[in-house]
Structure 1
């Protein structure tokens, strides 16, 4: 019995030992559980820190990597002035300065996204956002009913690209390389010139109908013809994009005069994207919204700035707005010409003009159709004749596939003549108002008598002008 009891006691002790070991294992496993959670929390902290550092790095690249970005606060100052006062001259000037770096960053974000989308989609993105600043300004002005501002700003984009940008590129490249004529792809230049002439045709016929009063239905045929021609031009531009991105393998603007060794070096030094794909999309959206907000202040201040600065609205719309909207793009075209990569310069200058002429203008006509605004292709005879002569000059300049500083100088002098012409140009719609004002002055002198003092005449004239 004693032995049995001893065995039973020993078995109980063994069982207790086993239970204690199992409990120790459970306890150890339970103790290990919070250690895993601590490890997970550390991992989350590290990932959050990495995301925050990536965000700060992208903000630094987008906002602080270029000296031109020092002008970004000018847009914020313009908004503050617009809220606190009505100094339209300062609002307009500061809005212009604020849009310059945003337009450059918008093009840069588009290029970053093109790294991830491939050449075909990247080409479409560049075609769409290449002139996004002008299109945003035009669409907002169209909403405000400022059809003439839309027409003149789009016309000014074409003139500045074909005469000013191309002229600066030819002149700069010729000065740096005076001992030779620079070469570029003649076929590409001629194709773009043909598209520009097609756009001139689309603008010319509605203007001629308006001037000669030969419309089938007065006030309707001109608008109907403009909308039909716009649809045809959009189809032609779509076919051009398809040809550019597929048939020519997206190589229309690649340099053709480089040696094989230089091509190998360019391949080795091929650029890499600076920000992620989703970062490009997010910044593209932010910059587009930012430009749209600034465009509202810019467009609202145009007429007030014209009165405050004594500059015609036509000169502001045709000369100042396009130069500022494409300032960074213009500088890039000149730099490529200096580096003897003239095909890229032509892609920026003439290619951008083709986008505005064959896509931007008809697109605004269609948008105006949707909005119920009478946006048409009748840019008036003066503007249409200016565009026609400018396109002809450029077509003759690029037909032989060579450039030098003298060709650039001629293009710049042509642009100077165009700028001077618009500085003294009065819009036809304003002529009727001026005629009514002068008739009112003659009426006041006839009724009130010649003995009326000049000060009283001016007071009566101002009152009549406000009534008109």
Structure 2
């Protein structure tokens, strides 16, 4: 574990790891200090995300960017899944759906856009495998269709029985999970030659694989635990900072929950490994839409007080559709510059500003 210790010693950001035990101590001693817990949790997630980024890059160096991106997306989404499961047990279905939709939009627009911007500021033009981008955006579009259908049916003139909506949601969930599994077989096995990296391998010395995997597992658990404390305190802290409930669920929770993945994506872009960044951003969004959301629907029959359906409110569906179409158009060429990143971030800013200014009655 000498590699890990050396990394912590030479990276000042990782010195913030000392705050992690303070988060748990504050939770035990002052559970009602929501604003303090909120700030400590955010500061603790930053070094954990940085550490997770280094470990993921080491795994990607051994396994390739396609598998490395998938691994990071999976471990990163574990945080969102744990948070959503906690809310699911309490029957907070609105929070679950807001975090799911918000994570899809944040990964597609903010994470990918910021990666293009950060990489473009260092390199004039960056290339990436557009076949992988096309596959992920196609999967996202399919998931968006599955979200639109229940909302469209519920908005029809005639009254829709709740039994029908639950059966439709279960059917759609099974279809999405099957498609996600077939997509993995297509990209990692049957047509893996189409998903190779377009850039040269990193010249940096990676960590040993066993150190990287242990770090990935351990840090992911810590991120999940700290994120859970964050979610418990964020609602009360939001009132202090003047944030609406819609903004908190869709923007703040999504950004903090995806901090680990974002650190890896941004680092990859700065090292001209844009395939890793695109794989993390779009792969994570597709995984949430086609796997995490359907699994939550199925698990609600086991751990929830009542079954949850896939009927999202129209505003959330529209934002997911906008994010998917933006990513599809932008990634079609397989090239990126810093201004492309700016455009994607501006789309995300428009959505965030709308939610921030949304009156209480519109939430």
Q: TM-score, normalised to structure 2's length?
A: 0.85
- Cα shift at 1:254: 0.8
Partner of 1:221: 164
Is 1:141 aligned with 2:75?
Answer: no
Is 1:169–1:334's contact at 8 Å kept on the other side of the alignment?
Answer: yes
- Residue number among 4, 9, 12 corresponding to 1:67 in the alignment: 12
Once superposed, what is the RMSD of the aligned Cα atoms?
3.2
2-structure distance, mates of 1:207, 1:105 = 40
2-structure distance, mates of 1:113, 1:177 = 24
Is 2:74–2:284's contact at 8 Å kept on the other side of the alignment?
Answer: no
SS in 2 for 1:323: helix
1-structure distance, mates of 2:269, 2:358 = 33
Partner of 2:248: 316
Is 1:149–1:314's contact at 8 Å kept on the other side of the alignment?
Answer: no
Between stretches 384-393 and 148-157, larger displacement belongs to: 148-157
- Residue number among 322, 325, 345 corresponding to 1:389 in the alignment: 322
Partner of 2:188: 245
Aligned in 2, Cα 1:395/1:339: closer, same or farther, shift over 3 Å? same
Partner of 1:167: 113
Runs (5+) with no aligned partner, structure 2? none
Is 2:127–2:334's contact at 8 Å kept on the other side of the alignment?
Answer: yes
Partner of 1:436: none
Equivalent residues in 2 for 1:262-281, closer than 5 Å: 263=200, 266=201, 269=203, 271-274=205-208, 277=210
2-structure distance, mates of 1:87, 1:147 = 25
Is 1:215–1:221's contact at 8 Å kept on the other side of the alignment?
Answer: no
Aligned in 2, Cα 1:66/1:134: closer, same or farther, shift over 3 Å? farther
Is 2:73–2:261's contact at 8 Å kept on the other side of the alignment?
Answer: no
1-structure distance, mates of 2:44, 2:352 = 23
Is 1:183–1:402's contact at 8 Å kept on the other side of the alignment?
Answer: yes
- Cα shift at 1:251: 6.2
Runs (5+) with no aligned partner, structure 1? 1-54, 432-468
- Cα shift at 1:126: 4.2
Is 1:417 aligned with 2:350?
Answer: yes
Partner of 1:369: 301
Is 2:56–2:264's contact at 8 Å kept on the other side of the alignment?
Answer: no
The alignment of Structure 1 onto Structure 2 pairs a total of residues equal to 361
The ranges of structure 1 where at least 4 consecutive aligned residues each deviate by more than 6 angstroms after the TM superposition are 113-124
CA-to-partner distance for each residue in 1:406-462, whole Å, 9 max, x for gaps? 32221111111011111123677x86xxxxxxxxxxxxxxxxxxxxxxxxxxxxxxx
1-structure distance, mates of 2:81, 2:239 = 25
Aligned in 2, Cα 1:108/1:250: closer, same or farther, shift over 3 Å? farther
Partner of 2:145: 201
Aligned in 2, Cα 1:386/1:88: closer, same or farther, shift over 3 Å? same
Equivalent residues in 2 for 1:444-463, closer than 5 Å: none
2-structure distance, mates of 1:405, 1:73 = 35
CA-to-partner distance for each residue in 1:158-187, whole Å, 9 max, x for gaps? 212211122222233334344xx5333222
CA-to-partner distance for each residue in 1:90-118, whole Å, 9 max, x for gaps? 21221222233334444655666678889
Aligned in 2, Cα 1:292/1:130: closer, same or farther, shift over 3 Å? closer
2-structure distance, mates of 1:98, 1:127 = 20
SS in 2 for 1:131: helix
Between stretches 220-229 and 326-335, larger displacement belongs to: 326-335
Is 1:209–1:215's contact at 8 Å kept on the other side of the alignment?
Answer: no
Q: TM-score, normalised to structure 1's length?
A: 0.68
Is 1:101–1:328's contact at 8 Å kept on the other side of the alignment?
Answer: no
Aligned in 2, Cα 1:113/1:123: closer, same or farther, shift over 3 Å? same
- Cα shift at 1:213: 5.6
Between stretches 80-89 and 389-398, larger displacement belongs to: 80-89
Partner of 2:338: 405
Is 1:104–1:329's contact at 8 Å kept on the other side of the alignment?
Answer: no
Higher relative contact order (CA 8 A, sep 6+): 2
Partner of 1:307: 239
CA-to-partner distance for each residue in 1:44-96, whole Å, 9 max, x for gaps? xxxxxxxxxxx6x3662576564332333334333333333312122122122
CA-to-partner distance for each residue in 1:291-318, whole Å, 9 max, x for gaps? 3432332232232222333211221222
Is 2:69–2:283's contact at 8 Å kept on the other side of the alignment?
Answer: no
